[in-house]
Structure 1
Amino acid sequence: MSNLLDSLIKKEKCISVTGLGYVGLPLALEFAKHFKVIGFDINQERIALMQKGIDPSKELESSAFEGCDITFTADVADLQLAHFHIIGVPTDIDSNKVPNLNPLLGATKSVASALKKGDVVVYESTVYPGCTEEDCLPILETISGLQGGIDFKYGYSPERIVPGDKVRTLTNILKIVSGSDNEALELIAAVYGTIIKAGLHKAESIKVAEAAKVIENTQRDINISLINELAIIFDKMDIDTKAVIEAAGTKWNFHKYQPGLVGGHCISVDPFYLIHKAKKIGIDPQVIAAGRRVNDFIPTFIAKRIVQSLIEQDKNPGKSRALVMGVTFKEDVSDIRNSKVVDLVRELMDYSIQVHVVDPHGNPNELAHEYGISLIDQPIGDYDVILLAVGHKEYIQMSVADFEKLSKDELYMFDIKGVLNAADYKNYWRL
């Protein structure tokens, strides 16, 4: 294995990264500052953009591509040129909230077709404990005709990328690494240690590393669900949840989570992987499932409060118009995957409310393709209610007068993210 490391350093052999999304692309480019890299993705259109130094996810500047020894390709045959393979494809859930491993298993088949004796395969995709060894390894062995742990090594190093965060970037986040045996672990640690400045944590097994990743977001999901449930209770009692959190936060051991829509491809997805695995081994998890139910209910709750507000204004919801500002899953990013704002928009439409959606970061074609929802270029005004759904910097910088210009009558502001100053508004609501 030390010979492989030497060959990588000397660029006699190279690294492949399969899956060039918000996880794989930054990783591939960072490695390409030190090693020879093959960046593989099945999406030819994305590859064409990256070959021009453009990040399709709009997370990286063109300067990130400079000085990188990397070849972008959609040709699976090019993977045969690599000896250290990294797989970082998305892992989502299907319509029944069951883990969708198709992209992961598909990527595994691609890498398996290129495996040679002495190669190493490392997974970064979020999975349930046991997935690497129970679901992926058999595919690697069957297609390659090689035996894992003997003919090739394998490991797991979960991604910890935070979309939109320009401070906690890839190299500044401590990295968990694990391997099929100690030799694999040390090699994987040495390769990642080349780029990770924050240090490494060597997990005692692949399952430990898998479990550590999946509970990171499960813990956050449960904590936010508690605050969301409290927000529902306090709203009924006419108590400002944000004020309660600020007051409680004066104690040193209180954790100040905020209520809100819990979407995206991590926090709202990962718990289902753990739930799935738990049920397979005969355990029906209660707390994790309850947290998911509460957070998934929030779009419905908000929609009902908006309808209630319209009725209190003596307005017919079916003849009312709402402006939803922001539809991406978090502020200042273009990613719309599993955005709960979409759920909120659909809930409002179910009440026959006419909904207009704007977002300076969202891609209209992606939104229409994925959700059948149209983005308008600019608000047209005369809205009965305005929803600040995502705290994009463009919206936070708007004044009360700016919002009033968009309102039909008296301004009714629903600040879903709780980023505005409540005292500035006569009719204001937040979770």
Structure 2
Amino acid sequence: MKLYEKIKNKEEKISVIGLGYVGLPLAIAFAKRTDVIGIDHNKNKIKKYHDGIDVTGEVGDKSIKETSAVLTNDESKIREAKFHIVAVPTPINGDKTPNLDPVVSATTTVGRNLTKGSIVVFESTVYPGVTEEVCVPILEKESGLKYGEDFKVGYSPERINPGDKVNTLEKIVKIVSGMDDETLEDVAKVYELIIEAGVHRAESIKVAEAAKVIENSQRDINIAFMNELSQIFNMMNIDTKAVLEAAGTKWNFLNFTPGLVGGHCIGVDPYYFVYKAEQLGYHSQIILSGRKINDNMGKYVAENTVKTLIKADKKIKDAKVVVLGITFKENCPDVRNTRVIDIINELKEYGIDITVVDPLADKEEVFEEYGLELKPINEIKNMDAVVIAVPHNEFQKISLGDIKKLYWNHKPVLIDVKGMLDKKSAEDMNYLYWRL
């Protein structure tokens, strides 16, 4: 009997290693169809899950409380499963090179608990070749088992869009791949248990790895184009949003907008791709140019905040500015690799006093990661400028009139990074308004 059949019949289990924004939804979804063990080394995270708290905001507290999945930090539980999914983050180092430490660590953990007849599937975003050239040797070394005979591997890149309640895990086509045809079919059939949109069988593991990194590289480049346009239009005193609305009336105009590009995918994946290309002697021209533009947008927003403060005759040093939003994107609690921090750090360089408000972000995580203390919005007053960095739904409920209560005098400076508010209404209320 194939492994897929045994999993479907609950004769074998699935283990998910890494219970974050990718792994948790997988564990919860698979647990509705079969037996699942979820592993994460973070004891505090596991405790919150046991308390029925979804720290990712992806599946909801109710799903956590009701799931049959066993969520634990006991790695020995991996031995009870035969189908293993590695879903850990792949960040970058300070020099923009890939940091494979989380993948290596997770692979080592799986390897020392691997049993014969297992399939290991990697979901972490990597450059082409990592699964077979980096991970497989670790699995062999740690397990003492032989690749292709005692265990097999596959790759199925995650496509989770954090905070998106429409394009959820089950509704996104899943790319799957395997080391051979038999593995590919087992991997495909297992994912078909939960993926309503269906699966795409890639012809090789490297093809699947490459598909993932170029998906986000393409998006990164398109956003970089918008960011470059916004800088040019700003010099021309033309409103970028108005231009995009006009251009968007054409059926084939791509609907991208300027903004900060952070998080653990779009702001990271292109560096994995160009790293591998450079190893082969090719220096990226388009991809790295896009990355350079997007990496500098936080500084650009800060500079325009200062310029707008000057227009309002505000003293720059010791000016009080509140930043609304610290997460990497709207309606998502994830603060990893957020580029809002670039705005904050740049403003601090001018001696500006910064206060940060974000009802979605975890206070402890923000303080630990960035040394910032989050404040509730009802404590904010006497500001010189308000920077709406992340347009959470909760911020969109705040009226222009309510925002005015955050300032101490006339000439209120309002920086609306992603154009959440109506520009004309803001200007009619005498805001000094600026947006990308």
What is the aligned partner in structure 2 of residue 401 from structure 1? Answer: 401
Q: 1:178–1:188: 8 Å Cα contact kept in structure 2?
A: yes
For 2:433, give the aligned amino acid.
Y
Tell me the SS of whatever aligns to 1:318.
coil
Q: Deviations over 1:338-362 (max 9, x none)?
A: 1111111010001101111111111
Do the aligned residues in 2 keep the contact of 1:17 with 1:39 (CA within 8 Å)?
yes
- 2:350 maps to 1:351: yes
The alpha carbon displacement at 1:417 in A equals 1.3
Structure 2 CA distance for aligned equivalents of residues 56 and 67 of structure 1: 16
> 4+ residue stretches of structure 1 with deviation over 4 A?
none
Matching residue of 1:94: 93
Q: CA RMSD in A?
A: 1.2
Question: CA 1:397–1:138 in structure 2 vs 1: closer, same or farther (change >3 Å)?
Answer: same
Q: CA deviation at 1:25?
A: 0.7
Partner of 2:23: 24
Alignment deviations for residues 154-181 of structure 1 (CA, whole Å, 9 cap, x no partner): 1000111111111111111110000000
Q: Which amino acid aligns with 1:240?
A: D
**Structure 2 equivalent of residue 59 of structure 1:** 58
Matched-pair contact (CA < 8 Å) for 2:227–2:294: yes
Q: Structure 1: how far apart are the matches of 2:78 and 2:142?
A: 14
1:295 is paired with a residue of what secondary structure? Answer: helix
Q: Secondary structure at the match of 1:322?
A: strand
1:415 aligns with 2:420: no
Deviation at 1:53, TM superposition (A): 2.8
- Residue 424 (structure 1) aligns with: 425
Map of 1:180 onto structure 2: 179
Question: Unaligned stretches of 5+ in structure 2?
Answer: none
1:243 counterpart residue number? 242
The one-letter amino acid paired with 1:430 is R
Question: For 1:197-238, what per-residue CA distance to the aligned partner results, in whole angstroms no more than 9, with x for missing partners?
Answer: 001100000000000011111000000001101100110110
What's the CA shift string for 1:356-410, capped at 9, x where partnerless? 1111111121111001122122343111111111101121111111111112222
Counterpart residue number, 1:372: 371
SS at match of 2:355: strand
Shift of 1:67: 5.3
Report the alpha carbon displacement of residue 52 of structure 1 after superposing the two structures with TM: 3.0
Structure 1's unaligned 5+ residue stretches are: none
* Residue in structure 2 matched with residue 313 of structure 1 by the alignment: 312
The number of residues matched between the two structures is 430
The offset of 1:69, in angstroms, is 3.1
User: For residues 373 and 282 of structure 1, what CA distance do their matches in structure 2 show?
Assistant: 41
- Cα deviation code 1:285-310 (max 9, x no counterpart): 01110101000111111111111112
Aligned-residue identity in percent: 51
Deviation at 1:66, TM superposition (A): 5.5
Query: Which stretch of structure 1 is more off in the superposition, 64-73 or 375-384?
Result: 64-73
The corresponding residue for 1:325 is: 324
Which residue matches 1:85? 84
The change in CA–CA distance for 1:76 and 1:185 in structure 2 (over 3 A counts) is same
Q: Deviations over 1:62-109 (max 9, x none)?
A: 322365432112111111111111100011111111111111000001
1:429 is matched by which residue type in structure 2?
A: W
Change (3 A) 1:412 1:39: same
Q: Which residue of 1 aligns with 2:263?
A: 264
1:243-302 deviation line (CA, Å, top 9, x unaligned): 111111122221121001111111101111011111111111011101010001111111
Q: How does 1:32-71 map to 2 (within 5 A)?
A: 32-65=31-64, 68-71=67-70
- For residue 312 of structure 1, report the CA deviation from its aligned partner: 2.1
- Conserved? CA contact 1:33–1:67, under 8 Å: no
Q: Secondary structure at the match of 1:258?
A: coil
My pick for the range that moved more, 305-314 or 352-361, is: 305-314
- Alpha-carbon distance in 2 for matches of 1:312, 1:65: 50
Compared CA separation, residues 374 and 27, structure 1 to 2 (3 A): same
- The answer to whether the 8 A contact 1:35-1:69 is kept is no
The code of the aligned residue for 1:102 comes to D
Question: C-alpha separation between the residues in 2 aligned to 1:99 and 1:363?
Answer: 26
Q: TM-score, normalised by structure 2?
A: 0.96
